[in-house]
Copies of this chain bind each other. A is one copy, B any other.
C-alpha cells in the first residue's frame, strides 16, 4: 500500500548527519512524514565521498519508503544539519557539492537539534552524549559552546567521564591512590585485573570506547564511592558551565539531549534545571524546518 503523495506541492527532506550515522525524513508541505532513511556517517571530517554517498543512500531509502521514484530527488527542498560544517573549510566543501536536489540548506547538526527540540521556536539544547556541547538560538542570535572534540574539549561528556575513570583506576593500580569501587567495576567490565592488559585494552581507544564506561562512574557514585562522586561533580560542573553560558542570551527553554543527559541533570544548578523541557521533535525534523525557514526568508528578502 502506497502513501498518497501530493506531487504538485514541494517535498522536503531533513538530514541529520552525524559522525556515525545519517538519518533523513521526507515530509510533505503539510508536515506529514512520507518516508525515512538511515545510513552511515555523513560527517565531512570522515571524507566528502563517504558523506555524500551516505546522504544519497538514506535519501533513496526515504523515497523508496514513500513509494516515490529516485528521480523525485531533483524536486526535494533539503535541509541538512551536518557535524563538522561549523568548520569553514567543510562548510565550503559541502556548499560546492553538485548535489542532486532542488536546493540544499546547510547548518550544523547542533543547530537542527535545537530547531527540532523547540519546533523552530527560540530555545537552547545541551548535548551530553559521547561528546558535549550546547547551542542557544534567541532572536536570530546563535550561541555555540563546546563540542571541540576529545580529549581537549568535550568536558563533562561520556568520553570525558570514561577517561577520568580509567585515569583513576590506573592510579589505583600503581598504588598512588587506594583502589575504590571504580577499580572493581572497570575490571569486571573489561574482564581483566592486570594493569598491562588493561592498558592494552584502551590503547587507541576511541571517544565512543571511553563513553561506554561513563555509566560505571554514576553507579559507583550512587554507591557512595568518593572518587566517583568527585568525578561526577566535576563533570556535571562542566555541563553546568556550558548551560550557564547558554543562559547569558536568555533562552526560555533548554532541552537536554544524549545518553548521559538524564544522569547529569540532577547535579545541575536549579536556575538551569527549571528551564529544562523535553525535546519536541528529532533533529531531522528540525532540518526540514530549517530548510522551510531558509526558503521563506529568501522569499521575504527577494533573493529567490
Taking a contact as CB atoms under 8 Å apart, the answer to whether B176 and A151 are in contact is no
Taking a contact as CB atoms under 8 Å apart, the answer to whether A87 and B200 are in contact is yes
A230-252 CB mask vs B (1 if < 8 Å, else 0) is 00000000000110010000000
* Complex Cα spacing A263 to B199, Å: 28
Taking a contact as CB atoms under 8 Å apart, the answer to whether B175 and A245 are in contact is yes
* Complex Cα spacing A176 to B148, Å: 13
Taking a contact as CB atoms under 8 Å apart, the answer to whether B170 and A148 are in contact is yes
* Complex Cα spacing A239 to B196, Å: 20
A149 in contact with B203 given A87-B196, A155-B171, A196-B86 (CB within 8 Å): yes
Taking a contact as CB atoms under 8 Å apart, the answer to whether A174 and B146 are in contact is yes
Instruction: State the oligomeric state as a number of copies.
Output: 2
Residue of B with least CB distance to A133: B174
Residues of B within 8 A of A145 (CB): 174-176
Taking a contact as CB atoms under 8 Å apart, the answer to whether A149 and B199 are in contact is yes
Taking a contact as CB atoms under 8 Å apart, the answer to whether B176 and A242 are in contact is yes
Residues of B within 8 A of A174 (CB): 145-146, 242, 245
Question: Which residues of chain A from 160 to 197 have any CB-CB distance to chain B below 8 Å in the complex?
Answer: 163, 166-167, 170-171, 174-176, 195-196
A140-156 CB mask vs B (1 if < 8 Å, else 0) is 00000110110111010
| Contacts from A to B (Cβ < 8 Å) | 86-89, 145-146, 148-149, 151-153, 155, 163, 166-167, 170-171, 174-176, 195-196, 199-200, 202-203, 205, 241-242, 245
